[in-house]
Amino acid sequence: MSKIIIKTPEQIEWIRKAGKLTAMTLDMIGTYVRAGVSTLELDNIMNTFILSNGGISACIDYKGGNKWGKWGYPRCTCISLNDVICHGIPRADEILKEGDILNIDVTTIVDGYFGDASRMYTVGNVSEKAKDLIAVTKKAWEIGIAEVRPGNFFGNIGYAISQFAESRWYSVVRDYTGHGVGLEFHEEPYVYHKAAKNTWPKMQAGMIFTIEPMINLGKYASKLDKDNWTAKTKDWSLSAQFEHTILVTEKWHEILTVV
Ligand code: MF3
Ligand code: CO
Ligand code: CO
């Protein structure tokens, strides 16, 4: 029995507000990403911005249902640098340098409703390898989003993403997935980024979930840091990710994490 929540029009309206604030935050921080800045400085700028726009961060003190960290997450956002796959914790001693690639993942709560999105950023000139990884990850994500419509199988999202990424000889991270979102941070279902064709459940109008593929230049295996949050590639290869919160509409879909 599926416990996937079908959101009401009123709930959708609120989740749209949270999605918008999340997107505004990701837009705003772009101009601050440069060599010499620490990831903690970026995190603090985003925290101030979210609070002054009527939201709060969903990440601060988040326990992850004991799935990931033993302790609550300590910061406002996740900033995942180079070989970090996801859930990198912003730090004062982590200073951006020319050539770095990073994912910034923001989840805001507005009046109790959640919006979750992330993007890649680059510092100065980055290698051709890094540029191609980011471009292919973005394309794979868009191909996955194109599968969202009522009546389609969730598995077809992961099928489309993995077919494309693997055709370019990249690998799809298995240990972290997309998820239902809106009334809670992480709801059912898990949204796999690698899946078999036509596997259940099916999408229905009113469902809201994230698609957030993590694609590695090397192998897909991840390892968890001693901090119990930071996930890195086991082979130290670069990793990229993009994320949107998406609503299934009567005819198609609507991306909610847009300004
Ligand atoms: N925003 C992440 C996701 O896309 C989850 C971060 S949990 C945190 O699901 F506690 F690390 F912030
Ligand atoms: Co998410
Ligand atoms: Co996220």
- Residue 256 pLDDT > 70: yes
**CA nearest ligand 1 atom 11, residue:** 87
pLDDT-derived band at 96, boundaries 50, 70, 90: very high
Pairing of strands 214-216, 239-241: antiparallel
Q: Within 6 Å (CB) of ligand 1, which residues are found?
A: 59, 62, 64, 73, 78, 87, 105, 107, 116, 210, 212, 229, 243
* Domain boundaries, given as residue ranges, for the chain: 9-255
pLDDT-derived band at 70, boundaries 50, 70, 90: low
Task: Classify domain 9-255 at the CATH class level.
Answer: alpha beta
- DSSP line for 73-108: --SSSEEEETTEEE-PPP-TT-B--TT-EEEEEEEE
Among residues 76, 68, 64, 69, the alpha carbon closest in space to that of 39 is found at 76
What pLDDT does 194 receive?
A: 98
What pLDDT does 75 receive?
A: 98
Q: Which atom of ligand 1 has the smallest separation from the CA of 75?
A: 12
CA of 192 to the centre of ligand 3 (A): 14
What pLDDT does 67 receive?
A: 56
Residues with CB under 5 Å of ion ligand 2 are: 116, 210
Q: Which residues of 148-179 are buried (b: 16+ CB within 10 A; e: fewer)?
A: bebeebbbbbbbbbbebbeeeebbbbeebbbb
Cα distances (Å, whole numbers) of residue 234 to 204, 221, 225, 238: 37, 6, 11, 10
How confident is the prediction for the chain on average, in pLDDT? Answer: 97
- Taking the complete model, does pTM exceed 0.85, yes or no? yes
